Chains A and B, each alone.
Chain A
Amino acid sequence: MNGRDDFNERLRKARQRQGLERSTRGADGDGQGGLPPSALRIGLRAGAEVVSALIAGAGIGWLIDRLLGTFPWLFMLFFAIGGVAGVLNVYRLFNPRKGARK
């Protein structure tokens, strides 16, 4: 396999000369998702996070309500929790959690 290693080495050098070698970070560097920073895309993504958290919260509340027969109350409570979770999701979108690293 020496020939192949040699070829890879020459290929890498040639790419570097031509400026084709991408820096190793860059594809996965920026932000949480590494998405190209387009304002509309970030906005849509943040909106999706909020709406999905609201759906999840309201859905859980509605389910527990249906099981316990306490209709509007837990639904309302979990709707609010869903809103908070949505804000948390958007916050995480820009500041991924770092703490408690083992």
Chain B
Amino acid sequence: MAAEGKTIDALSQFELTHALGPVGAAVNFTQSNAFMLIAAAVIVLLMTVGMAPRAIVPGRLQAAAETFYEFVENLVVGQVGHEGKRYFPFVFTLFMFVLLGNVIGLFPYAFTYTSHIAVTFGLAAIVFVLTTLVALALHGKKFFGYFFPEGAPLWLAPIIVPVEVVSYLSRPISLSVRLFANMVAGHVLLKVFATFVVLLGGLGIVGPLVATLPLAVNVLLIGFELLVAFLQAYVFAILTSIYLHDAVHLH
């Protein structure tokens, strides 16, 4: 597949194709959408089936569901403070959606929807609009004081205000680019080394021996990618909470 024509084709894995046959093609339903639905279904199943027993001493699924819940709750309350609890459902949904997208994408034949900037920027834009609306709703006009720190000399305003505005507007970009770049880089690396295995494996007698080296690298990379998958979801969630903190406390 990748080694056809003896070239390294690392980017075709990100191409969108139609899922669900002719029905999907008619409504532009891609495999990316399909995996989003799968991720959503896995999340809902984990939370409903896992929490169904409501045991005091949790079983495996319930322990997993509770771990995720408590992890995100600690994160939100730790960053935003006690009044941040009402934003917990939002951050939890984001975190689980990004995490499942990253992790499901590591399975063979699966598609990583977080490797598309359109998806990550869409998520980041939701965060951006929501935090801005929260700040406006809680503080009204005082929100615009955010762009000019108190106590700075007034003649500096023409410099400070545009810089602060641009800095504020760069948030969704850095949020989305970070997740997108990490996922793309990881999958390209995996694909490149996997192609090396195939290419080197065809080198006659020494081939299979040499090919074990990139295979070993890939085994390590998969572990590393699992770490990155979790870490990026964590970073996405914690940055969302930090922005919510700024919106709630406004300083």
Give CA–CA (A51, B173) in the complex, Å: 9
Give CA–CA (A32, B75) in the complex, Å: 12
Partner of A53, one of B74, B150, B166: B166
The reply to whether A100 and B79 contact each other, CB–CB distance below 8 Å, is no
* Least CB separation from A34: chain B residue: B238
The reply to whether A100 and B251 contact each other, CB–CB distance below 8 Å, is yes
A residues lining the B interface (CB < 8 Å): 4, 7, 27-28, 32-35, 45, 48-49, 51-53, 55-57, 60, 78, 81-82, 84-86, 88-89, 92, 97-102
* Least CB separation from A61: chain B residue: B166
The reply to whether B174 and A48 contact each other, CB–CB distance below 8 Å, is yes
Asked if B239 is an interface residue, CB under 8 A from chain A, the answer is: yes
Asked if B169 is an interface residue, CB under 8 A from chain A, the answer is: yes
Chain B 160-186, CB within 8 Å of chain A: the 1/0 string? 001110110111011001100100000
B residues lining the A interface (CB < 8 Å): 56, 74-75, 78-79, 145, 149-151, 159, 162-164, 166-167, 169-171, 173-174, 177-178, 181, 235, 238-239, 242, 249-251
A88: which B residues are within 8 A, CB to CB?
163-164, 167
Interface pairs (9), CB distance under 8 Å: A56-B173, A78-B162, A81-B166, A88-B163, A89-B170, A97-B251, A101-B249, A102-B249, A102-B250
Complex A-B, nearest 3 residue pairs according to Cβ-Cβ distance, in ascending order: A52-B174, A28-B78, A52-B173
The reply to whether A84 and B181 contact each other, CB–CB distance below 8 Å, is no
* Least CB separation from A92: chain B residue: B167
The reply to whether A99 and B166 contact each other, CB–CB distance below 8 Å, is no
* Least CB separation from A36: chain B residue: B231
- A7-B56, A33-B235 are contacts. A27–B74 as well, Cβ < 8 Å? yes
Give CA–CA (A25, B163) in the complex, Å: 33
Counting chain A CB atoms within 10 Å of each CB, which of B159, B173, B177 scores highest? B173
The reply to whether A89 and B174 contact each other, CB–CB distance below 8 Å, is yes
B79: which A residues are within 8 A, CB to CB?
28, 34
Measured CB to CB, the closest approach of chain B to A6, in angstroms, equals 11
A51: which B residues are within 8 A, CB to CB?
174, 177
The reply to whether A99 and B177 contact each other, CB–CB distance below 8 Å, is no
The reply to whether B178 and A48 contact each other, CB–CB distance below 8 Å, is yes
* Least CB separation from A7: chain B residue: B56
- Beyond contacts A27-B74, A45-B178: 10 other A-B pairs, Cβ-Cβ < 8 A, are A32-B242, A34-B238, A55-B170, A56-B170, A60-B166, A78-B162, A84-B159, A88-B163, A99-B150, A99-B151
